[in-house]
Structure 1
């Protein structure tokens, strides 16, 4: 059994017991979260999509992690203008506990 769930504007294919990194979610390690924006569910070969899906995905927050550094560098030639900025995106590790 798997489901396609929308989390923070991105779609993820999840199964029970799976651990994955998603964009930052508010909460602490050990908290339970529920995602109600389920786009598709496959239950033993019967696929349900669209507005007929009434499932919810329950997960547990395991921790947080920072992604790789992304550099934004701007420069104008022959002017002496250079600007270098960067950031590291926060990700939250979750473990899917149930698809109901």
Structure 2
């Protein structure tokens, strides 16, 4: 059952971006953060596979622990901005690619 959108009033009237679309799911903060971490992780995994490196090799290149990379890919760790830049540099990609909308195939892996 969809939840109702919170009624947030801005000092100068309605939200500048307008109301959310009718099919926009309302989520708790925890659900939203988990979804964001999972989407980030799915993008990281897809980029890593596109580049053709293992989690272990990526961890070496980014000076991280392999388990940490695995936890980030699975959405179990909240990554820092610094760590995001390390991973992007190791993969030689733009950090913006971590925030693209994942496809259904990548999301489910």
Task: Name the TM tier (shorter chain).
Answer: under 0.3
Q: Structure 1 length as normaliser, TM-score?
A: 0.21
Larger Rg: 1
Larger % of strand: which?
1
Larger RCO (CA within 8 A; separation ≥ 6):
1
